[in-house]
Every structure is written in structure tokens, then in C-alpha cells.
Amino acid sequence: MSHRQGFTLVELSMVMVIIGLIAAGILVGRDLIEAAYIRAQVAQIEKLNTAVNTFKGKYNGLPGDLSADDAATLGMAARSGGVGDGDNNGIIGTCGFDGLGGRYSGCENVIFWNDLGVAQLIAPDFPADATFPANPTGMDTSLFFPAGKVGKNTQIMVFSIDGVNAFALVHPGYVGNNQIWAAPVLSPLQAFAIDNKMDDGLPTSGRVTGSAEGINSIETDLGSFSDNLLGGGPYCMLNVEPVIYNTKGSDANKPLCIMNMNFQ
């Protein structure tokens, strides 16, 4: 007569403890990796700030915004001197537009990276030609913008929002008429972590701000948060007082945010 031997309760308990420890280790490891990416992103932006300030002190102007004559004298990329194309007004603009809050690219905010490279303040990896194809769909935008350190397919673009120059962590999208535009790329959790390290942790105040995919217009209690309040959302931010990043619920890990970091 054969007897089957099973696991005792003690053995089962030990197995469950081991499984729990492995799962906890995996989660902790994932959090540590994400924290390392956040630190690397903050360090990258601070280094770029230093590069811009060094450039400004040396050349008496901002990269991309130098006048056409000064750029020619210094051996930097040619520009027309028109609005948003080397007008030397202290604003990083786009072709024909300055400080209007637009998130399109072309001219100054593309030449910006080449100027920094020519000045040997960043790796000289970006071309002098700021002209995009008429239909840029499928274009390799990494030729024009440096990669960020956090978020999938994140790149760093430069914009002037209401006359304030800022780095922006975005995913470049595509439109016609020689334009590339900024799309959301970071999750609310990532955006909050960056903002909290560099500024006040709030998306609508301070030097570091968040935007994109809207802000919930419904006054809501976080305790009753749902993924799509009254059919709205998903959102990068919640319109409570004060406005906060949407770090609760399933939307917290979705790519809903653009990060703006004003020059210092």
C-alpha cells in the first residue's frame, strides 16, 4: 500500500514567505531603478542649465537666439535674423513666433542644440540645419533633440511659454508644414518625483511645472478618486486646492504629462 506525502503547514508557510520575499525584492528593485532614472534626469537638466548660463556669459546671448551676424562671426549655424530665427531678443522662439506658448519646433529651438554643441558645452551631435521635412512623420527626432533619462522615448525640447524659456520633457509628435510638436510622455508619478526633487512638487507653481492631457475641472476628493470622473480624463493633474499631480488610481502610471523646467 503506497502512501502519498504532502507538504506540511510549516513547509507551505515557508514557501509562502520565500515567495513574498522574492516579490518584495522585485518591487524594491524596480523602485530603486526608477529612482535612479529620476536622479539622472534631474542631474541632466541641471547640467543643461549650467551649459546655457555658460554660453550666455561667453557670447552675451542664448543659444539659438544669437543674431544672424553674431552667429556668422562665431562660426555657428546660419539664421535669418527674423522673428524666432536668430532675433536676439532673449526668447527661444520658433520660426515666425516668439513666446506665444506654442509647442512647435523649428529655427531657434532646434538651432539651440547645435549652438551648444559648437560651443563645446554639450556633445556636438545635433545638425545645424533646423529645417524639418514638410511631412516629418517617421522622422528620427533624436537627430535634433537629446534623449531624456526617464520615461519611454523621452526627448528634451526647448520652448518659450509666455516669454519664459524652459526645457520640456516630451515625446515629439508629428504634424505637417515642417513642424514637430510636443506630446505627453511622463506618468504623473514620474512628473511628481521630478518636480518634488527640483521644486515644490506642485504642477502649477514654481520653476518646474506639468502640463498636457488637461487638468480635471471637477473639484474632487482624492478619497473618492475614480479613473474617469464623470466621463472625463485621464489627466496629468487634479483640480483640487492646491492643484496636484494625478498620482492615484490606474492613471498614475500612464504617459499623461509634459514637464517644463524654466531656465535658471
Whether this prediction's pTM lies above 0.75 is answered by yes
Which pLDDT does position 229 carry in this prediction? Answer: 39
Q: Quick one: which of 122, 125, 87 has its CA closest to 107?
A: 87
Q: Quickly count helices (H) and strands (E) in the chain.
A: 4, 9
- Please, where are the H alpha helices in the chain? 9-59, 68-74, 108-118, 188-198
DSSP 87-137: --SS---BTTB-SS---EE-THHHHHHHHHHHTTSS-S-S-S--PPPSS-T
Mean of pLDDT over the chain: 82
Domain ranges of the chain: 12-183, 186-264
Read off the amino acid at residue 161: I
Q: What is the pLDDT of residues 3-26, one digit of tens each?
A: 556 667 666 677 677 776 666 666
217 Cβ contact partners less than 8 Å away, ≥ 6 residues apart:
232, 239
Which pLDDT does position 224 carry in this prediction? Answer: 36
Which pLDDT does position 166 carry in this prediction? Answer: 93
Counting as low any pLDDT under 70, the low residues of the chain are: 1-7, 9-12, 15, 20-29, 99-103, 130, 136, 175-178, 212-233
